[in-house]
Amino acid sequence: MTAEESYWWQTAVVYQVYIRSFADGDGDGVGDIQGLRARLPYLAQLGVDAIWINPWYPSPMADAGYDVADYRDIDPAYGTLEDAQTLIAEAHALGIRVILDIVPNHTSDRHEWFRAALADEPGARQRYHFRPGAGADGSSPPNNWQSVFGGPAWTRVDSGPLKGQWYLHLFAPGQPDLNWDHPEVRAEFEDILAFWFDRGVDGFRIDVAHGLVKAAGLPDGADADAEPQVMLHTEGRHPAWDQDGVHEVYRGWRSVAERYTPERIFIAEAWVPSNERLARYLRPDELHTAFQFDFLRAPWRAEWLRKVVDDAISSAASVGAPPTWVLSNHDVTRTVTRFSRSQPAHLVDTAWERGRWGEEVPDHPLGRRRARAAALVQLALPGTAYVYQGEELGLEEIEDLPAEARQDPTWVQSGFTDVGRDGCRIPLPWNGTEPPYGFSPDPGAGLWLPQPWHWAQRSAEAQDHDPESTLNLYRAALRLRPELWSGAGPVEWIEVAPDVAAFGRGDAQCWVNTGDSEVSLPAGATVALASEPGVDRVLPPDTAVWLR
């Protein structure tokens, strides 16, 4: 492996596989490893450098697998450890790296450690945060922290030796938070990392990386912070999040990764209030990269695109890390839908976005046009790009799921006020004209989330031979990306018009028009790729081009 290859992660296009909804191999209506293996050629043809697989460990699925019962095995619904090894080998043979998702902030309530804690086995409860309740009879939660999914972040044990005690869960009650001040917790996770690295895994995406360490004594947050959705603080700091002590954990993890050749890598999911706070996770002896989420929070406005791009690049550069570009993932409204309503003049809050259903009828063709343009911007920027499954098919958020179909714990925990994230997790349409669109080999399989009846034209097969499809736009962009943009140098803005964000990198340029009138393209430039067909001398509204 050349030195350049060992830095693959600095420019990679990483495709996010939400395994439950990617492809079902065994016909039970749930995606699995067998289904993913069968579609690896599709991913190779798409041209991605790596896949990041959402949690596939045994789990009672209180939060779609982010409640892990055993970190060293595979959930039977997805396959076996042997299947996982085969998948890793097959992906590598196609030149695709494999990144897993590690969930260190909390375990499942079915994890053997939590069971041991509830049984009050010696030393077991110290691995979690158990506290007596407040008030004379202990019937109030120990502090005012709220769950990200809604309601108090504490649940009272109602039977057994710990009856009456409360335990902390920043997410669902089935996801008790670990106590990261406990040395056994630290040792256990370093061992889990090595377990998977030994099996050839190339890196980990770290779930809720800013959550692990809590402020000593678990003090109340300020009143304003008692609101749900405390995961992303826009101002101030909350004692549950982004505590300085968390960095010591990652120094230990980095030394585990450095034991391997090539070095294994980490990507932090850390919702912190500023890029400056984020940069602290990326110091040279900590994590390699972190998701920078402002790109997916930016409204469709050139001035915001310029701003989030500049901010992301300069803060990553301050610690020598590559910037990262995320348009979408399994927690947020799909790009097409986000851009299909009127655009605010501020960064959006991802949960706020979900509340817009019913407020304004979405114009999906418009949203899709913008999403295609946004993809070209994303893929022209320096650093790493993350593509969430289904974005390459131009899928929209399914906002009108029937209440009884909803699975996300957010729906129940918010008292049925936040529909949650199911709408971006619908099983992918592969082929055919009606559900399950080839997702499952069994046409009668009841899928874990229902697909809409209008997705025939959005299937991978329907788009495969259509030169104007979103799938073929992504394929073309990923094919051209190394030639035009890899190693092309820094972003240099070109002044065109307030509604146009245009930048050059080396000999190539990327232009995007977020306004409502067309603009002229520079004379002498050749259009290498455009987000809409027929773009030549002028750039129409809601369109992007790559020029050389």
Are residues 215 and 276 in contact, defined by beta-carbon separation less than 8 angstroms? no
Active-site residue, 207 included: yes
Active-site residue, 269 included: yes
Task: For ligand GLC, give the closer residue by CB, 143 or 329.
Answer: 329
Helix axes 246-257, 183-197, angle to 10 degrees: 30
Distance, in Å, from the CA atom of 454 to the CA atom of 363, rounded to the nearest integer, reads: 15
Q: Tell me which of 66, 78, 291, 546 binds ligand GLC, using CB under 6 A.
A: 66
CB of 10 to ligand GLC, least distance (A): 23
Q: Tell me which of 24, 75, 207, 242 binds ligand GLC, using CB under 6 A.
A: 207
180 touching ligand GLC, by CB under 6 A: no
Cβ neighbours of residue 408 under 8 Å, at least 6 residues apart?
63, 64, 419, 420, 421, 422, 425
Task: For ligand GLC, give the closer residue by CB, 124 or 208.
Answer: 208
Are residues 25 and 38 in contact, defined by beta-carbon separation less than 8 angstroms? yes
CB of 63 to ligand GLC, least distance (A): 5
177 touching ligand GLC, by CB under 6 A: no
SS (H, E, C) 59-86: CCCCCCCCCCCCCCCCCCCCCCHHHHHH
The residue number with the shortest CB distance to ligand GLC is 66
418 touching ligand GLC, by CB under 6 A: no
Q: Where are the beta strands (DSSP E) in 54-168?
A: 97-102, 130-131, 154-156, 166-168
CB of 542 to ligand GLC, least distance (A): 29
Task: For ligand GLC, give the closer residue by CB, 269 or 397.
Answer: 269
Site for ligand GLC, residues 256 to 285, rule: CB under 6 A: 269
CB of 66 to ligand GLC, least distance (A): 3
CB of 12 to ligand GLC, least distance (A): 19
Task: For ligand GLC, give the closer residue by CB, 331 or 422.
Answer: 331
CB of 269 to ligand GLC, least distance (A): 6
Task: For ligand GLC, give the closer residue by CB, 66 or 455.
Answer: 66
208 touching ligand GLC, by CB under 6 A: yes
Of 375, 381, 377, 408, residue with least CA distance to 393: 375
Would you state the structure tokens that stand for residue 224, as one six-digit string?
């304003």
Secondary structure letter of residue 401 according to DSSP: -
**Would you give the binding string for ligand GLC spanning residues 80-119, x where CB under 6 A is met?**
-----------------------x----------------
Q: Is residue 70 classed exposed, middle or buried when 0-12, 13-18 and 19+ CB atoms within 10 A define those classes? A: middle
Q: Tell me which of 15, 114, 167, 171 binds ligand GLC, using CB under 6 A.
A: 171
Q: Tell me which of 26, 63, 177, 225 binds ligand GLC, using CB under 6 A.
A: 63
The active-site residue out of 49, 109, 202, 269 is 269
Helix (H) or strand (E) run with residue 493 in it: strand 492-494
Instruction: Report strand pairing: 130-131 vs 97-102.
Output: unpaired
Instruction: Report strand pairing: 492-494 vs 500-505.
Output: antiparallel
Distance, in Å, from the CA atom of 135 to the CA atom of 499, rounded to the nearest integer, reads: 57
Would you state the structure tokens that stand for residue 489, as one six-digit string?
């140098």
CB of 73 to ligand GLC, least distance (A): 18
Of 278, 491, 308, 301, residue with least CA distance to 382: 491
Site for ligand GLC, residues 298 to 337, rule: CB under 6 A: 330-331
Instruction: Catalogue the active-site residues.
Output: 207, 269
Q: Which residues bind to ligand GLC, rule: CB under 6 A?
A: 63, 66, 103, 171, 207-208, 269, 330-331
